[in-house]
Homo-oligomer: A and B are copies of this chain.
C-alpha cells in the first residue's frame, strides 16, 4: 500500500493510495490513533472512488461516527485503465438493450463477471487498510448500491469481517444466490419506480438475504432518486451495528 497524496479539512483526513494496481482513497479522523470500524464504499457504474456522493458519505461516516472509510476504483473505472473485455461486453449489451432485450439479465451477467475480480481485490484492500495502526482489526461494514450492490453482495457473502451492509438498487437475478449466504444485518434501499431494476427483482433480492435482521427501505422515484434522509438512516444503521 503506497500513499500518494493527502489532505485534511473539517477534522477529516483524506489520503489517496495505490495497492498494486488498485487506486483508492482512505478517509480517517484527523490525528486518529487506535482501532476503529472500517466501512468500504462501493461506487456505482460509470462512477469512481471520489464520486461526489461517495465523498459526502465518507466524510459523514468519519466526522459523525469516527469510522475509517475506504473506496477504490472498480476495474475500468476512475483512474484504472480500460479493459477491452469489459468494453466489448458493455458495447454488446448496449446494442442488445437497444434492440429491445431486457436489461436486467444483461447487467446481472456483467456484474457477476466483474465481481470475480473485485471480491479478492476488496479483501486485499481490507487486509492492507486494517494493518494501519489508526484503523486496525475492528469490525467492517459495506455500503453500495447499483453496481456497488451487484459487486457488494458477493463480497459481503465472502468476507466474514463485514458485520453489516447497506445495499440497494439491485435485483435477484444478479445477486440472489450470493445473498442467500449473507447472514449479517442488511439495510436494503429500493427505488419504487426504478427504471433499471424491476420492482419485483428488487423485492426478491431483499427476500433472498438470509439475515435475521434485514430492513427494506423503499422510496418513490427512479434509480437516482434515493432521498437524502436515507443517509441519516445509514449512519444510524452502521453506528448501531459497528459502533
A interface vs B, CB < 8 Å? Answer: 190, 192, 203, 206-207, 211-220, 227, 229, 232-233, 236, 240
Contact = CB atoms under 8 A, between A and B. Distances in A.
Nearest to A229: B240
Contacts of A227: 213, 215
**Number of identical monomers bound together in the oligomeric complex:** 2
Contact of A236 (B206, B212, B216, B232): B232
Given A232-B236, A236-B232, A212 B206 contact: no
A214 to B, nearest CB: 6
Given A203-B203, A207-B192, A219 B229 contact: no
Contacts of A212: 220
A201 to B, nearest CB: 14
Contacts of A219: 213-216
